Amino acid sequence: MSIKLDMPSIRQLAEDEGVGEEEVKSVLQASLLQAYSKFPGALPIARVEVDGRGNLTIWGKEGEDEEEVDCTPEDFNRQSTKFVRSALRQLVRHMEDEKLFGSFLNRRGQLITGTVQQDDADEGNVHIAVGDTEALLPRREQTPGEEYRHGQRLRVYVVSVDRGSKGPEIIVSRRHPNLVQLLFEKEVPELATGDVSIVKIAREAGSRTKMAVASRIPGFNAKGAFIGPGGSRVRSVVSELGGREQIDIVDYSEDPARYIANALSPAKVERVDILSREDRMAVAIVANEDQLRLAIGGQGGQNARLAARLTGWKIAIQTPAK
């Protein structure tokens, strides 16, 4: 015996969802085969066949060497509508997930804005509603000390987009260095024109960021472009980062000695001696103990640590020998 499927509805579904009719049939066959396997007396080897007119038949056999027989259960016809509807719903959800996955896959490495959602069952992680979907801000990607309130609008950086068992899994970040870069791209039009560029960022989220910038136009003040009139541009970025993070903007230089001196700002460096270019080791000389403390910085030498990460050099800091 065979079951008659509603092919006009199936074809309409395929058209609405932008998928091929054969793919819809494939999903239906898999779902109906799974349903058949739960029937008492179901043959161990079975397959579902759907012809061009929508007639569905289940063929099965006891062993590989035996001949196939029509094993469509007598009451399968009565229950088939439920199975077909279930399969179609699954297909629609799958296609919606695929569309969502594709749209967010293109936004990986970009900035998105969402709304903080509370989830008491997922302590430690923050859920961010973005349109019709939800992104996850895990603890490891949160800025230390930053609080996230339900309903708060938040800009986040898309770290990864993967397929999950319950749909697309979108991981976002508030501590990634690229978040700082993308925020500046919204504030500094000279970045879009290519007049200035961000060479590198070293960040300890929630506390301090050092950013090296450069200009392709001789004499153009790259630092000034990022700071903005009266400091408006950098203040806007700091505000987006929660208002507590310090941002040091320094000039990049091809000369490592000058670059290291700039990176140790706000300390005033008297000179930088290159000890080994191969091992990228240098010593920065500052005038006195006050400048030494400023160059090293608080929080376990944060200023020196970020300067080393920014330049890629191992930097010793000393006062002049007496």
Task: Look up the domain containing 88 and give its range.
Answer: 3-96
Do the domain assignments include residue 105? no
Q: What is the CATH number of the domain that holds 155?
A: 2.40.50.140
Confidence at residue 160, expressed as pLDDT on a 0 to 100 scale: 86
The DSSP H or E segment spanning 196 is strand 196-204
What integer pLDDT is reported at residue 95 of this predicted model?
A: 65
pLDDT along the chain (322 residues), means of 10: 65 68 73 79 87 81 90 70 67 66 76 86 85 87 92 93 74 96 96 96 96 95 96 97 95 97 96 96 94 91 97 95 63
Question: Is residue 169 located within the same domain as residue 203?
Answer: no
pLDDT given for residue 316 in this prediction: 96
Domain boundary pick from 173, 192, 208: 173
Q: How many domains does the chain have?
A: 4
Residue ranges in 76-176 assigned as alpha helix (H): 76-105
Of 205, 236, 252, which one is at a domain's C-terminal end?
252
Tokens of 305: 């640590």
Rounded Cα gap, residues 225 and 240, in angstroms: 18
Task: Tell me the three state secondary structure of residue 206.
Answer: coil
In a domain, residue 222? The reply is: yes
Alpha carbon distances (Å) from 205 to 104, 140, 216, 240, 319: 25, 11, 29, 12, 30
In a domain, 75, yes or no: yes
Do residues 80 and 55 touch, judged by C-beta distance below 8 A?
no
Q: Please tell me the total number of residues recorded for the chain in this structure.
A: 322
* Residues linked to residue 268 through DSSP beta bridges, in sequence order: none
Structure tokens at 251: 């000039």
In a domain, 90, yes or no: yes
**In whole angstroms, what separates CA 7 from the centre of its chain?**
40
Question: What was the pLDDT predicted at 165?
Answer: 63
Q: Please report the pLDDT score of residue 65 as a whole number.
A: 87
Span 62-112, pLDDT tens digits:
988 889 998 887 777 666 666 666 666 666 666 666 666 666 777 888 898
Instruction: Tell me how far CA of residue 251 lies from CA of 73, 154, 210, 211, 220, in angstroms.
Output: 77, 30, 11, 8, 11
The reported pLDDT for the residue numbered 1 is 56
Q: Is 103 domain-assigned?
A: no
